Structure 1
Amino acid sequence: MTDRRVQKTKKAIREAYLSLILEKETPKITITEIAQRADIDRKTFYLHYDSIEDIIHEFGRQETEALILHLEQNDFFDDTADMAALFRALNALIEANLELYQHIARTPSYAFLWGQIKDILKVSLTETMGERLDIPRAQLEICAEFYASGTISTYLAWLRGDLPMSDDQLAEIVGDIAYYGLHKLISPPKAEGDEG
């Protein structure tokens, strides 16, 4: 019973904070405001969190764990033939809190959250590619860093509204690039005299 009550209180605190960051600048949010919105007192807040930053860090951990779980449930770690599955999982994670993700994509103080997601993506790519590719570890890690950094950068641009397309279109394009490189997107120029 106690665990359920603790989880319920922590959820109320997280939801209160996440709703407040959509309304005002993060540095201006106070523990008092969070406690009032969560319908608790300040002492109760401090029973669960040491600071406001702890809330967003916990949110980041939960989101990355949810991403891994989604990937495991969809057998991503067993079959990398469909790289778009990775990006569909990222879409599912983002869609659940789209307005929040759009907001934090525009707010530099949340860069650490994107760093956490990038690191999870990098580890996932390293694990899946490492089992299938016979390349030196350093080269594998460079590939994973390249794809993870590019993916997060692309999703941040999309969330900020810089890439006008649906999330499905984005997942398909990023998945194709991750799997095929630019070769699928760029067709070679036809030689003179070629018909076709």
Structure 2
Amino acid sequence: MVDTAKSSLGGASAVTEKKKVSPAGSRDATMDRQQPLLALVDRVRGDVEARGSGFVEAKIDVEARKVTIFWHGAVSHSLRERILSFRSAGTTVEFVRVPYTLNELQQEARRILEHYPQAVSAGPNATYSGLTVGVNSAHAAAADFKIESRMPVETARRPPSARRAGWLAFLRSTSRSW
């Protein structure tokens, strides 16, 4: 960090105020670059959630200055243009169509956790096109664990200490209709 000083003389004494300036690669600079991306995501959430739209989730890529919006169903031309108007200069917005709403993904994750005791965690996968289910590694190999679901399911080994009850509580508290 670089310190710069500003002085103000008040009578016989001097008051010095230090301002911290962050180098370009620092954590503060990264936070500064992500701020407009997060603001765009917040504005999209606020705009479309009120309308009960197909918004599922959004991800940001700070380095690429990109916001990816995962959407269930078609995004109308007027809504797409409205969302694009929220972005700041140099920001890219990508719309990715997904087959399920966030509520559908959460409901299916909850169903799996309630009906498959070996499952210790469940939630949307990274692309919101299905689920990732954590399987208790003490019970079965993830590849051998079969789950019947109407959506694609990926499995991954998780330690026996993974908190099944915590995932169920989380899914119950975050379920909402879109």
TM-score (norm 1): 0.30
RCO comparison, higher one (Cα < 8 Å, 6+): 1
TM-score (norm 2): 0.32
**Higher relative strand content:** 2
